[in-house]
Chain A
Amino acid sequence: MAQHVSKGARFHAVTANRLTDGEVVYFSDQGTWVENFSQAVIVDGAEATEALLEKAKTDGFLQVVIDVYPFEVIADETANGFNPASVRELIRAAGPTVRLDLGKQAATSS
């Protein structure tokens, strides 16, 4: 898997796939799993990332999501001030680049 948590990476979010339908989801500051990266909670530093991952894996998470992991984000001019750092996570956040009519990107485009 092409995950990039490079040394010195500061900001992270936590993602997973929803068990029922495989939809990409992000851990939000409400402690819920949301479909939009713009609502993902962003944390700063390795310790905070560990803590967030712990929080995401609380009781019952196994019936809701699978494959929970942290990924690097970088500051950018977006709704929440950040963007996924890797191509893979950018694609997961939007949808297949070869089918702009599918995935999350289709919902957000007019």
Chain B
Amino acid sequence: MYRYDEFDHAMVRQRVEQFRDQVARRMSGELEEDAFKPLRLMNGVYLQLHAYMLRVAIPYGTLSSRQMHQLAHIARKYDRGYGHFTTRQNIQYNWPALEAIPDLLDELAEVEMHAIQTSGNCIRNVTADQYAGAIDGEVEDPRIISEVIRQWSTFHPEFSFLPRKFKIAVSGHANDRAAIRFHDIGIAIKKDSAGAIGYEIHVGGGLGRSPFIAKKIADFVEPQKLLAYLEAVMRVYNQLGRRDNSYKARIKILVHEIGAEEMRARVEAEFAKIDARGTLNLPNEERQRIASYFAPPEFETLTDDCPEFDAKYAEDKAFAQWIKTNIVAHKMDGYAIVNISLKPIGGVPGDATDVQMDRIANIAKAYSLDEIRVTHEQNLVLPHVRKSDLYVVYEALCAADLHTPNLGLISDQIACPGLDYCNLANARSIPVAQEISERFSDLNRQADIGELHIKISGCINACGHHHVGNIGILGVDKKGTEFYQLTLGGTPDENAAIGDITGPAFTADKVVDAVENIVETYMLERKDGEKFLQTYRRVGMAPFKERLYGAE
């Protein structure tokens, strides 16, 4: 993974110094809150319901064990012993004191981490496929250009006061696990017939109040031109994006209003000018330097033939179940990708204690070539585990209560922090997730239901990605009471689709019954091993609507 050089270290140190000064000026009154707010936001410091919240960047969701240990240490020293992994592959702490944050940031800098641009109207964390470098069929490791983009976008003088936040995602595989079509810029890595790498650019995707699927505006941008192209998109957006209404300020609104063709034309015109100057041509040496950090690790030459594994698989039913749900095939023989579910039955989705973080760090160091990934579905991944080590890893995860065998199943839900934590929320989302996972706690039932993605947001900002849930749940506020609106049929991957509203919203005490009714309808309607999404596509909303609200 990427290692800071002296420049990177210096940049982070400068930023902490700058922020320390800003905090001091705020405390002394020299800086007013109105002027301080954008500055603290650019350092990932929010004010939430109960306290400040700090969002720490985990670039493209990749962490070393040393970094994970530090995150655990920070949870202990500066917070209340836990952290929350987010839908943008970052981590959030819910209780840091503002005065302590500069020191906290210093400690993060020691392990090459920071909270730069994790909030504010600037370019945010670039997210990528959590199986990068481990999965078969990858065109190129998406973290290479993610790192290039991270650097180019950091402290960008022109794009730090955009109309709104800006999110970029990269996928290097035909199966899009990064939801690129729901990002402001989504990049799909391609190869042409000669085997050369190029980048397909999509713009204007997003969730929130008005969900949109991104439009493709470039088929194949060459690697050395990528930054010039992105700069062109950003300049067009910075100039034309609306600033009269914050709900209409994302690039998705601009693309919707002027159309994909005009967007493409404007970007191409701007790109031509930038490209002509050549100042943003990415040097091959720099690209290679960064790529070398993502070169395959020292894999052993193994076979998939592993009798010890086979024996344990046969004798330990719980282990076998976990293998079936949480393990994904690795590109190298004798290796496996391990998914750690942070969705224990009745637990808070995406949360991990400091103890759990330390345990995961230890396991990663011993058994996953010192690497951990964060997924946008609030889970973690050990990307490179030897098949022969799977049992010992499983046992270690069991000891830390991290062995829930529910990846992709109904209890593997996304839930935003919601009204329990968030200043923007209209309703609570975590208790709904907890109740759903308890209602469906039976693992056999879950296996029977199969793949079903529930995503829950506590307000229209859609941080829980409800628009792209197979079942989406949106918390709304009706005269002071929490209500929940349901959608069906969303999906964030290469088959991008926004869910359809079922009808009137449900109260908190009725919503889980509603979900169960939806599931039972699916079970009745499904054919030939169809997953939920397939059945929904085939039969449509009608049977679900009828079950939920009665016959018309």
A-to-B contact residues, CB < 8 Å: 1-2, 4, 6, 17, 19-24, 60, 62-63, 66-67, 85-88, 91-92, 95-99, 102-103
Interchain CB contact (< 8 A) of A67 among B47, B51, B97: B47
Bound CA span A22–B97, Å: 7
Bound CA span A21–B529, Å: 53
B-to-A contact residues, CB < 8 Å: 26-29, 32-33, 47-52, 80, 95, 97-99, 348, 419-421, 423-428, 430-431, 434, 477, 480-482
Bound CA span A85–B480, Å: 8
A4 touches B480 (CB 8 A): yes
B419 touches A21 (CB 8 A): no
Do A21 and B51 contact each other (CB < 8 Å), given the known contacts A85-B480, A97-B428, A98-B434? yes
B49 touches A2 (CB 8 A): no
CB of A4, distance to nearest CB on chain B (Å)? 5
What is the chain B residue whose CB lies nearest that of A95?
B50
What is the chain B residue whose CB lies nearest that of A88?
B419
A residues within 8 A CB of B50?
22-24, 92, 95-96, 103
A residues within 8 A CB of B428?
87, 91, 97-98
Interchain CB contact (< 8 A) of A91 among B49, B80, B98, B99: B49
A residues within 8 A CB of B430?
96, 98
B residues within 8 A CB of A20?
27, 97-99
CB of B418, distance to nearest CB on chain A (Å)? 9
Interchain CB contact (< 8 A) of A22 among B28, B52, B80: B52
B residues within 8 A CB of A60?
29
A residues within 8 A CB of B47?
17, 22, 66-67
What is the chain A residue whose CB lies nearest that of B100?
A21
CB of B351, distance to nearest CB on chain A (Å)? 9
A62 touches B32 (CB 8 A): yes
Do A91 and B480 contact each other (CB < 8 Å), given the known contacts A21-B98, A99-B348? no
Interchain CB contact (< 8 A) of B52 among A6, A21, A92, A95: A21
Interchain CB contact (< 8 A) of B348 among A88, A98, A103: A98
A residues within 8 A CB of B98?
19-22
Bound CA span A86–B480, Å: 6
CB of A86, distance to nearest CB on chain B (Å)? 5
A residues within 8 A CB of B426?
2
B420 touches A97 (CB 8 A): yes
Taking A92-B50, A97-B431 as given, write out 15 further A-B residue pairs in contact, using a Cβ cutoff of 8 Å, ordered by the A residue number: A2-B477, A20-B27, A21-B97, A21-B98, A21-B99, A22-B47, A62-B32, A63-B29, A87-B482, A88-B49, A88-B425, A91-B49, A95-B50, A96-B50, A99-B420
What is the chain B residue whose CB lies nearest that of A4?
B480
B51 touches A91 (CB 8 A): no
Do A87 and B348 contact each other (CB < 8 Å), given the known contacts A63-B27, A92-B49? no
B51 touches A1 (CB 8 A): no
A residues within 8 A CB of B27?
19-20, 63
B residues within 8 A CB of A88?
49, 419, 425
B80 touches A102 (CB 8 A): yes
4 closest Cβ pairs, A-B complex: A21-B97, A22-B51, A22-B52, A96-B420
Bound CA span A90–B424, Å: 15
Bound CA span A1–B98, Å: 22
What is the chain A residue whose CB lies nearest that of B36?
A66
Bound CA span A88–B48, Å: 11
What is the chain B residue whose CB lies nearest that of A67?
B47
Q: Could you jot down 30 A-B contacts, CB within 8 Å? A: A2-B425, A2-B427, A4-B480, A19-B98, A20-B97, A20-B98, A21-B51, A21-B97, A22-B47, A22-B51, A22-B52, A22-B97, A24-B50, A60-B29, A62-B32, A62-B33, A63-B27, A66-B47, A85-B480, A87-B427, A87-B428, A88-B425, A92-B49, A96-B420, A96-B421, A97-B420, A98-B431, A98-B434, A102-B95, A103-B50
Bound CA span A6–B478, Å: 12
A1 touches B80 (CB 8 A): no
Bound CA span A6–B479, Å: 9
Bound CA span A53–B107, Å: 40
CB of B219, distance to nearest CB on chain A (Å)? 43
Bound CA span A97–B27, Å: 31
B423 touches A1 (CB 8 A): yes
Bound CA span A63–B477, Å: 33
A87 touches B52 (CB 8 A): no
CB of A62, distance to nearest CB on chain B (Å)? 6
B33 touches A66 (CB 8 A): yes
What is the chain A residue whose CB lies nearest that of B476?
A2
Do A1 and B29 contact each other (CB < 8 Å), given the known contacts A22-B50, A92-B50, A99-B348? no
A2 touches B29 (CB 8 A): no
What is the chain B residue whose CB lies nearest that of A106?
B80
B residues within 8 A CB of A91?
49, 419-420, 428
A residues within 8 A CB of B421?
96
Interchain CB contact (< 8 A) of A87 among B26, B32, B51, B480: B480
CB of B193, distance to nearest CB on chain A (Å)? 53
B residues within 8 A CB of A67?
47
CB of A102, distance to nearest CB on chain B (Å)? 6
CB of B93, distance to nearest CB on chain A (Å)? 12
CB of B457, distance to nearest CB on chain A (Å)? 14
Bound CA span A1–B348, Å: 23
Bound CA span A87–B419, Å: 8
Bound CA span A97–B424, Å: 16
What is the chain B residue whose CB lies nearest that of A97?
B420
CB of B85, distance to nearest CB on chain A (Å)? 16
Bound CA span A110–B318, Å: 38
